[in-house]
Each structure stands twice: as C-alpha cells, then as structure tokens.
Amino acid sequence: MIGRIKRGGGLLIILVLIALMTMIDPVMAADSQLVSRVNTTQKMMALTFDDGADGDSIPQVLQILKDHNVKSTFFVTGKAAEDHPTLIEDIFEAGHEIGNHSYSHPDFTKITASQIATELQKCDSLVVNITGKSTKPYFRPPFGYYNNDVLAAVGSAGYSKTIHWTVDTIDWRGDSVADITKRVMDKAGNGAIVLMHVGAGAVNTPSALPGIITNLKSQGYKLVTITELLAGSTGTTYVVKSGDTLSSIAQKYGVTIQAIATANNISNVNYIYVGQTLIIPTGSVSPTPDPAPVTTINYTVKSGDTLWAIAQKYNVTVQSITSLNNITNANYIYVGQVLKIPSSSSTPAPQPAPVPTPTTDTKYTVKAGDTLSAIAQKYGVTIQSIATANKISNVNYIYVGQVLVIPGTSTQPVPAPTTELKYTVKAGDTLWAISQKYGVTVQAIAVANKITNTNYIYVGQVLIIPQ
C-alpha cells in the first residue's frame, strides 16, 4: 500500500510540474531589425545578390567577384537551392555569405506567421544540407515587402536582421549596363547596400558589375559582406515610441528629416511605426536636450484651412505645429480640430483680403507630373477639399487620366505668380525652411519647380522662388 502511495505521489508531482510549465509565458523573441543602410563613417558598401530561382549568372558573377577580390552576400530561395545546389555550394566555397530569401518567394505580408516560419525553415534546411551552415541571422523579404507582423514572425524564427537595400538596381528588368551603373553610382555612400540579381532576367548584371566595382573602388569604397558592414557601424539608433514623428526625432538629434529618411530608405516620411529601429545619421549621436515648455495659443480649424496656411498666418513652421499636436500626416487636418500654436508669434501675421470663392464645382483631368498639392494651388483650394470631394484616402496617389472634382471653384485656375527669384539649396536646407525664409508656401515652391516629393531636395539644386 505504501509503495502504491509513493508511486502515486510521484506521478502527481510530475503532473503538477507539467501544469506549471504550461502556465509560464514563453520568452518572446525580439522583432527582426530592418536594415537598409548601415550608419558608418568608413567608406564601406555591400553588394548583395538575390537568387530567386534559376541562378543563371552565378558562375559569371562569382568569377567577377573573385577577379576583383570582393566578398558579397547572396540571398537564396529554397527553390533555387533545389534547382542548382552545386552553384549554392560554389557561392559558399568562394567565401561569400548566404542569407534566407524564403522557400518559394511569396509576399510575406499576405501569409500567416506559421507559413512564414515554414518558408524560412524549409529554405534554411536546404542550405544547411548543402553548405553545413545556417542562413541565420540574415533574411531578405521577397519583393522587399514587409510590415510589423512580418518583422515579428521573422524575428521569432531566429532571423535578427531583415536586410533591405539602399540602392535597387532594378536589373531584373533587363535594363542597360549604363542604367544599372548609374543607379549604383548616384546613391553610393558609406554603409550603402546594393541590390542586384543573378537570375535570367538580369541579363546585363554581369556586364555592369566589373565597372561598378572599379568605379566604387576608385572612389575609395571597400566592398564587403553584410556581416562586415554591420561590424563597421559607428552610428546610433533610435527606437520609435508612441507619438513620435520623423520631424520630432530629427529635431531631437539635430539632423534633417531627409537625412533620417535617406539613411533608413523611408519613402513616405509621414509613416513610421512604434518599435521601428531608425539609424540616426552621423553628426549628432547624442540627442539635444528637450526644449523648455513653451506657452501656446489654441486655433480651431476652419473650412479651407491647411497647416501651411495656418503656419503662415502665425509666422511659425509647419513642423512646430505638427510636433506640438502629434500630427503624423501634415496633409490631414479637419474642420473643428483645435490646434496648439507655438507662442513665438501669438498674433496672426497680416493677411491679404480673402478672394470670394465661387460655389460651383469644376472638373480637372490629371496630367503627367501633377500632384494634389499642385492642383490645389492651381485652383486656390485645399488638398483636403479635393481629397474629400473625390473620396481619396491617400493624398500622395493620383493617376494620369483621373478626373477630379474641384469643389467650390470657378472654371479658371488661379493665375500663377508673375515674378520669381532663384535660390541654390545648401547643406541642411529643407523646403519648409526655404519657404519660411522667403515668406511663401511649400506648395508654391513645389509647383514652381515641379517637385512631387516635398521631402526631397538636394545640395546645389537651383529652386525658383515665386513672389
């Protein structure tokens, strides 16, 4: 009897331990960090090659890299490993790195976390069987598509770095040697990551590669693997918190919005997400102290208002209003919204007498080069009013041939300014700063210079300043 009790007690203890173990929360892996450029003061760049399926030009590319004494990182799919395992082995034996590019190259933003894990595991197993080495910790998303869920799932699978790119050569389209080379050289810079392909579609990549390597080396760049590039990082990083905007982060570190956007390959400066790790370009590795609290006044948005107009009215910058009110999209405010206006100028600047607005609508057909900003300026209305009238959810997207309703306008566009002067862009300039300097709006400068992305200007660019 006693023996039975002891045996029964032992079983009970085991069952209790199992139950307790199932109640313990698992340790969550960190999200994979997106890397599109490495912040470094060293003249280093990484040439990377994607092998999606056929790997037609791998032998040529390997020979060129050998001839020029360059080591690179290749991102291969499981399908490629199945199709040409000997070539995958050749890559590894030549001393190059191999990263994971999924098994079958699906859009990871459209599959589940479980499917992502399977895709990564199948590819990794095939590469390990060929080379004896895992593809971890480097992953490159098929098509370059990713989101928060993808980064979380990839991180959970053991891939701490999701490698994007600084330069997309678009060589898979069969573009010319000159075009491929120009794309690389135009964006060459410390810590840049170049994307190329070794498939049948990239017919001119082997011809362009020698010249690219020679040109980069002649400019003093050392061409390295992703591991070597990451090891040379000297910059600082910042993890985005709730309420952050690129404007506030740029102000905090004393750099420009464009500099952060370029360093992180951000195409839409109005979109960053909580938990995103940003590279802060070299030049200010310590954040500037937070400014002392300032007094503000309140302004209630009225029909027809834009942030640009309000900023002009109170002689402040758009950034100061967006930062103070936690606005992430400077193109979207709404009637009745109460905005805090920095008190540096509590009295509105004198405004010209308002022009009566006709109540009839007109229609406008979008032409090549048009933006909503330019069209709004042309007809003397706001971006928001056009977006609302046409049910446009993304004010950055319109297309040629689209017929837009222009609300509350006459059939004639507002006449363009008749006088102008010119300004040459200097280091650190932004369109906002230039517009403030000359007392005009950002849109006015953008329209006068046919600028479609108001966050991108470059040093030496000559701008027309409308008067």
Picking from 341, 313, 315, 346, the residue whose alpha carbon sits closest to that of residue 327 is 341
Picking from 189, 172, 169, 193, the residue whose alpha carbon sits closest to that of residue 180 is 169
**Is 428:283 a contact under the CB 8 Å cutoff?**
no
Q: Which residue has the tokens 């609302």?
A: 388
DSSP for 123-186, please give it: HHHHHHHHHSS--TTEE--GGG---HHHHHHHHHTT--EEE--SEE--GGGT--HHHHHHHHHH
Residue 331's identity, in one-letter code, is: N
> What letter would DSSP give residue 37?
B
Q: Annotated catalytic sites, by residue? A: 50, 197
CB contact set of 465 (below 8 Å; sequence gap of 6+): 420, 421, 422, 423, 434, 438, 440, 445, 448
Distance CA 111, CA 325 (A): 36
Strand, coil or helix: 259: helix
Strand partners, 405: 363
Q: Which residue has the tokens 């840049």?
A: 192
**Is 99:50 a contact under the CB 8 Å cutoff?**
no
Distance CA 375, CA 449 (A): 14
**Is 161:137 a contact under the CB 8 Å cutoff?**
yes
Residue 426's identity, in one-letter code, is: K
> What letter would DSSP give residue 31?
P
Picking from 176, 172, 181, 185, the residue whose alpha carbon sits closest to that of residue 142 is 172
Sign of CA dihedral 300, 303, 309, 313: negative
Strand, coil or helix: 405: strand
State the Cα angle at 152 between 233 and 160, rounded to 5°. 30
Strand, coil or helix: 464: strand
Picking from 220, 162, 226, 161, the residue whose alpha carbon sits closest to that of residue 189 is 220
**Is 171:205 a contact under the CB 8 Å cutoff?**
yes
